[in-house]
Amino acid sequence: MASRAPLAWTVAGLLAAVALPWYALQEGLDSGAWLPGLWASEDHAGGLAQILVHGKWWLAPTLATLVACLVVSLVPATRERRGTWLVIASALGIAAFVAQGLAIGLRGWSAEWLATAFGELAGRQVGIGAGAAVASIALLALLSIGLALRGAFGGDAFVAGAITTVTASIVLFTAWPILRILVQAFQNGDGVFMPALLIERLAAEKIWTLRCLWGGGRCGVAWNTLVLALCCGAGTTALGLAFALIATRTGFRFKRTLRVLTVLPIITPPFVIGLALILVFGRSGLVNQLLDWSFGIQATRWIYGFQGVLLAQLFAFTPVAFLVLIGVVEGVSPTLEEAAQTLRADRWSTFATVSLPLMRPGLANAFLVGFIESIADFGNPIVLGGDYGVLSTEIYFAVVGAQLDYGRAAALGILLLAFALGAFFLQRRVVGQGSYATISGKGDSGLPTPLPDAARRAAQWVALPWAAFTFVLYGFAFVGGLVKVWGRDYTPTLDHYAKAFSIERTADGLLWSGAAWNSFWTTVKLAAIAAPLTAALGLIAAWILVRQRFAGRAALEFATMLSFAVPGTVIGVAYVFAFNVPPIEITGTAMIIVLCFVFRNMPVGVRAGVAAMSQIDRSLDEASATLRGRAPQTLVYVVLPLLRPAIVGALVYGFVRAVTTVSAVVFLVTAEYELATTYIILRVINGDYGLAIAYSCALIVLMLAVILLIQLAVGERRLGRRIAPPLGGRA
């Protein structure tokens, strides 16, 4: 009896190899210009025609394995035997596909030793197209089905497919580009492999010196990066927890306003925070001018250096910690807190011994995200760092500076990965193997316990001044777009907004004549595509990591954080290295920007999902399985409704970071696909601060509207708990 799922995927792969162009088209698949040459034209031919007509014999093994899978799907066999043959055939097909893609490029063989071993090759290859992409996806699906038929992953094809998809996508769009750039650390300028070069590059005095401890100079960039990241991780976690506690466990009257102020920094281009801090605290800033006028205190440059970068990073990354922690704080079971109070524990003891320990996964994940965000940050150190060097800026200057030393940049990138790996294992050690599940299948009739007075006051003293500071800082940034020239001419004007977003009515209709419209619409379109993909992939990865047990799970968990651990400049250069030549040529297209958005921002969705899912009892999954619910049904109808805070966090973060990111895409944008942030940076470089601030304010308004729409669309999580009466209006 034929097996339907393998048969369907095999037919899809074979049809793609026959009826779709195997190689990428310059004019695009939607043009239809390839249809007449599907057999005769070498540029437009399908896989079968490439083999039979155009001599691309190296494609034959891949198509042969698809034919073998077709035979396996049609021939009667036991479940396990069919699975074994599917695994063998599909694995061979994937291996053949990867091998020929890497071995043959634009000029034939991609390495001299291949030409020496096999002789000169007359043919060549460009990047893969629609036919090759569908065929490779079909082979991956067949591999997943074969593993499930053999009993792997509980025999569930959906789970097997999810693990295979997440693993393959991370390998292809995270590990492979990073590997391509990091291998440069072992090569000299001529491309000769010399492993000793890595040790030489990492042993440089500028990286590890400790002269700052005895006043003889500056500390190395590695120590600077590590100290800054530890302070940033601790500070963002503390601030995020304070905001989360006030938003969920107090009667503070302005919670919605507080949430907006908390999220504001995350929806702002990173250099705007640095620019606003300079306008307020810089040598010619308002604070220094006021001190000079009032007390005769000479202006200083104290904002430049460690303290300025840390302040900017706290502004930028506290919202990320808040998004991770808000769902965790809400998920703590009030019944457990009431049980502690029934045993005569006071509110402080309950908070310290019950509530906080149950928040440990969220706190550890928030610290990890803050730490890795800090070591990967580029915008704030480049604006405010002064003589305080960090690894990300050193990598940038190694790539774009006069030295143009990719090897040194790659070596420093390996050091950043080592720091991230250390933080990752520290986080796992802190969380441990304990159970933090507080959401079960039973309704929870408990009421959230108000914060102890000491904790409430501490949260107030930490969060409310910070919120006020945020309000003041953004007030100055907003005003900067409404005056002619900040610091010189404060005449109110709307000229900057008119220049950026003017609209004219013509005989042919509305004309979007503003200078910023092209980059604005491109940014919105690409971010809207990337955000749901980012959230979906991140939350599926979190579900796999928390709910499934399989070999290599720890390695996969760390791989999901790889793109976070590497500075955006390195990611951008790595994408150019990996995807500018066959087998995948997508440089200069919208696809490479979307992929960069997705895999650069996915880790926050993973960490938020892991933190939230750690609180959901496995008994809910077991109950669904008892009622014959399969894995997809359990995920959609049981798990996802309880993950709404994490879904909101992943969607919001995916969209706003796609809109505000700079360093990761600065090497990927083109004239056709110009983004808002690169447009703003060019205005800043040209000294047009008014237009840059006006455009940034418009982006902030856009993202606030999108965040509200996302929250309305996803809704709130319902936990079956009683609604607490107002807490006396007390903050």
Co-location of 421 and 505 in the same domain: no
| Contact yes or no for 94/172 (Cβ under 8 A) | no
Out of 134-138, 509-513, 656-660, pick the least confident: 509-513
Q: How far apart are CA 162 and CA 172, in angstroms?
A: 15
Using DSSP, state whether 108 is helix, strand or coil.
Answer: strand
Question: Whose CA is closest to 11, among 61, 74, 58?
Answer: 74
Instruction: Give the pLDDT band (50/70/90) at residue 423.
Output: confident
Task: Write the pLDDT tens digit of every residue in 68-101.
Answer: 999 999 988 888 999 999 999 999 999 999 999 9
User: Is residue 180 in some structural domain?
Assistant: no
Using DSSP, state whether 715 is helix, strand or coil.
Answer: coil
User: Is residue 650 in some structural domain?
Assistant: yes
The DSSP bridge pattern shows strands 108-109 and 509-511 to be unpaired
Q: How far is CA 191 from CA 81, 352, 409, in A?
A: 47, 57, 15
Give the side-chain half-sphere CA count within 13 A for 588: 5
Co-location of 235 and 361 in the same domain: yes
In this structure, the number of other CB atoms found within 10 A of the CB of residue 432 comes to: 11
Co-location of 10 and 136 in the same domain: yes
Total H helices, total E strands in the chain: 35, 6
What is the predicted pLDDT for the residue at 448?
A: 65
User: Is residue 416 in some structural domain?
Assistant: yes
The separation between the first and the last C-alpha atoms of the chain, rounded to the nearest angstrom, is 68
Higher pLDDT, 205 or 67: 67
User: Is residue 73 in some structural domain?
Assistant: yes
Residue 435 has pLDDT above 50, yes or no: no
Residue 727 has pLDDT above 70, yes or no: no
* Domain span holding position 532: 483-714
Instruction: Give the pLDDT band (50/70/90) at residue 597.
Output: very high
Co-location of 419 and 487 in the same domain: no
Co-location of 137 and 227 in the same domain: no
Out of 136-140, 238-242, 391-395, pick the least confident: 391-395
Which DSSP helix (H) or strand (E) runs through 469? Answer: helix 453-480
Task: Write the pLDDT tens digit of every residue in 207-256.
Answer: 998 888 776 678 899 999 999 999 999 999 999 999 888 888 777 777 77
Residue 437 has pLDDT above 70, yes or no: no
What is the predicted pLDDT for the residue at 447?
A: 60
Task: Give the burial class of 665: count Cβ atoms within 10 A of its Cβ; 0-12 exposed, 13-18 middle, 19 or more buried.
Answer: buried
In this structure, the number of other CB atoms found within 10 A of the CB of residue 20 comes to: 20
Residue 505: strand pairing partners: 510
Give the side-chain half-sphere CA count within 13 A for 426: 16
Residue 521 has pLDDT above 50, yes or no: yes
Co-location of 696 and 567 in the same domain: yes
User: Is residue 195 in some structural domain?
Assistant: no
- Of 375, 400, 433, the residue that ends a domain is 433
Which residue shows structure tokens 């490479």?
592
For the four alpha carbons of 373, 378, 379 and 384, in that order, the dihedral sign comes to positive
Q: How far apart are CA 589 and CA 601, in angstroms?
A: 19
What is the predicted pLDDT for the residue at 89?
A: 96
| Contact yes or no for 533/601 (Cβ under 8 A) | no
Task: Write the pLDDT tens digit of every residue in 552-590.
Answer: 888 888 888 777 667 677 788 789 888 988 899 998 899
DSSP result, 367-414:
HHHHHHHHHH--HHHHHH-TT---HHHHHHHHHHSTT--HHHHHHHHH
Out of 59-63, 354-358, 536-540, pick the least confident: 354-358
Co-location of 603 and 676 in the same domain: yes
Residue 724 has pLDDT above 60, yes or no: no
Residue 430 has pLDDT above 50, yes or no: yes
User: Is residue 387 in some structural domain?
Assistant: yes
Q: Residue 421 is part of a domain; what is its CATH number?
A: 1.10.3720.10
Q: What are phi and psi of 78, to 5 degrees?
A: -70, 160
Q: What are phi and psi of 51, to 5 degrees?
A: -75, -50
Instruction: Give the pLDDT band (50/70/90) at residue 2.
Output: very low
Question: Whose CA is closest to 587, among 44, 127, 23?
Answer: 127
For residue 29, the Cα-to-chain-centroid distance in whole angstroms is 29
Mean of per-residue pLDDT scores for the chain: 83
User: Could you give the number of structural domains in the chain?
Assistant: 3
Residue 731 has pLDDT above 70, yes or no: no
Co-location of 381 and 528 in the same domain: no
Task: Write the pLDDT tens digit of every residue in 459-507.
Answer: 888 888 888 887 787 787 788 788 887 656 778 888 989 988 998 887 7
For the four alpha carbons of 65, 68, 73 and 77, in that order, the dihedral sign comes to negative
User: Is residue 684 in some structural domain?
Assistant: yes
User: Is residue 348 in some structural domain?
Assistant: yes
Q: How many residues are there in the chain?
A: 731
Which DSSP state fits 285?
Answer: S
What is the predicted pLDDT for the residue at 402?
A: 62
Stretch 44-69: mean pLDDT: 94
Q: How far is CA 19 from CA 34, 130, 132, 300, 642, in A?
A: 11, 10, 11, 69, 43
Question: Whose CA is closest to 396, among 382, 385, 380, 383?
Answer: 382
Task: Write the pLDDT tens digit of every residue in 114-125.
Answer: 888 888 888 889
DSSP result, 479-528:
HHTSEEETTTEEEE--HHHHHHH--EEETTEEE--STTHHHHHHHHHHHH
What is the predicted pLDDT for the residue at 436?
A: 47
Task: Write the pLDDT tens digit of every residue in 171-185.
Answer: 999 999 988 887 888
Task: Write the pLDDT tens digit of every residue in 300-359.
Answer: 777 888 999 999 889 888 888 887 888 778 777 677 777 777 777 777 887 777 777 888
Co-location of 418 and 541 in the same domain: no
| Contact yes or no for 243/314 (Cβ under 8 A) | no
Residue 722 has pLDDT above 70, yes or no: no
Q: What are phi and psi of 507, to 5 degrees?
A: -65, -25
Q: How far apart are CA 51 and CA 55, in angstroms?
A: 5
Question: Whose CA is closest to 623, among 612, 639, 609?
Answer: 639
The shares of helix, strand and coil residues in the chain, as percent rounded to the nearest 5, are 70, 5, 25
Co-location of 102 and 232 in the same domain: no
Which residue shows structure tokens 């509110």?
347
What is the predicted pLDDT for the residue at 488?
A: 66
Out of 60-64, 201-205, 615-619, pick the least confident: 615-619
What global pTM score does this model have?
0.79
Instruction: Give the pLDDT band (50/70/90) at residue 610.
Output: confident
What is the predicted pLDDT for the residue at 723?
A: 54
For residue 679, the Cα-to-chain-centroid distance in whole angstroms is 22
Co-location of 241 and 389 in the same domain: yes
Co-location of 268 and 399 in the same domain: yes
Instruction: Give the pLDDT band (50/70/90) at residue 50.
Output: very high
- Two tokens, residue 582: 């066959």
